[in-house]
Amino acid sequence: MLRAGRGLRLGVLALALAVTGCAGTPERRPPVVAGVPLAEVDGLLQRWEAQWQEFRGLRAAVDVTVVRKGVAQRSAGGLILSPTHLRIEAISPVGLPIVVITLGPDRLLVLSLAERRAWSGAPTPEAVSRWIGVPLPRDALIRLLAGYAPAPPAGVVPTTGQDRGSHLVFQEGRFTERIWVTPGGQPARVELDDGRRITTTFDRAVTGQLQGLTVDAPGQSAAIYVRFVSGEYFDPPAGAFEITVPPDIQVERLD
């Protein structure tokens, strides 16, 4: 569960995206949904955006399961987030770091210390899908991992949908964003569809604190399950998202 206040020593932050070890798919929990009167939507979105503007960063220890085409890999791990960057470090079962991934506005960098290889490329949804499992834009992925809904398209007038529970619908061209809301006024489930439907379901405590999330991309036969073991909101230090590639490792282009 996420919390603010006390410091957290994570040791080597780890997120198992490339660690072997099969496991069963975690049980899915349906979100608690509640209808939001359209007259209150503008205020709700403004409150969410104000909360996001106050977000500085997050570090957490997590349990992660990545499922691709029916094959599940599971491990303990961790992550660091800022509003614009993400850093993931994966470790082996014996505790040695084997993969480091950073994602920022200009670059996705993957360093595999186990293979003595590195890859770099533009932070496109396709590149994200290759290494993290689901084809999400960088800003949307970061917001979802932090427990926030991606900002709907500017100027779009919301409507309501009733299938799978009452929810908000924002549609612009081929893109549709659907948001189910908890009785406490927080995102419970978010569905992004630009021809590739990706659904994120949040697991929240009674207090509203984020306990975990599921990101499901059925079109890619992929899903990510994240459970927060412990964590805290903090200001990431300078250099938190920088990687120094050893001189003996050549960086290959992803694109």
Instruction: Say whether pLDDT at 235 is over 80.
Output: yes
- What pLDDT is stored for residue 216 in this prediction? 95
- What pLDDT is stored for residue 10 in this prediction? 35
Instruction: Select the CATH number that applies to the domain covering 2-234 from these four: 2.20.28.90, 2.50.20.10, 2.40.10.340, 3.50.50.60.
Output: 2.50.20.10
The pLDDT confidence band at residue 245, using thresholds 50, 70 and 90, is very high
Instruction: Say whether pLDDT at 227 is over 60.
Output: yes
- What pLDDT is stored for residue 2 in this prediction? 63
- What pLDDT is stored for residue 41 in this prediction? 85
Instruction: Say whether pLDDT at 74 is over 50.
Output: yes
Higher pLDDT, 83 or 219: 83
Kindly state the average pLDDT of the residues 198-226. Answer: 93
Instruction: Say whether pLDDT at 16 is over 60.
Output: no
In angstroms, the CA 230 to CA 253 distance is 35
Higher pLDDT, 97 or 173: 173
> Cβ(132)–Cβ(17) under 8 Å?
yes
CA 133, 250, 12 angle in degrees (round to 5)? 55
* SS3 state at 76: strand
- Among the listed ranges 48-52, 95-99, 221-225, 233-237, which one has the minimum average pLDDT value? 95-99
- What pLDDT is stored for residue 24 in this prediction? 57
- What pLDDT is stored for residue 32 in this prediction? 39
Rg (alpha carbons) of the chain, rounded to whole number:
18
Instruction: Say whether pLDDT at 178 is over 70.
Output: yes
Alpha carbon distances (Å) from 15 to 128, 150, 178, 247: 15, 22, 28, 25
- What pLDDT is stored for residue 65 in this prediction? 87
The domain limits of the chain are: 2-234
Instruction: Say whether pLDDT at 3 is over 60.
Output: no
The pLDDT confidence band at residue 13, using thresholds 50, 70 and 90, is very low
- What pLDDT is stored for residue 100 in this prediction? 87
* SS3 state at 52: helix
Instruction: Say whether pLDDT at 42 is over 70.
Output: yes
The pLDDT confidence band at residue 4, using thresholds 50, 70 and 90, is very low
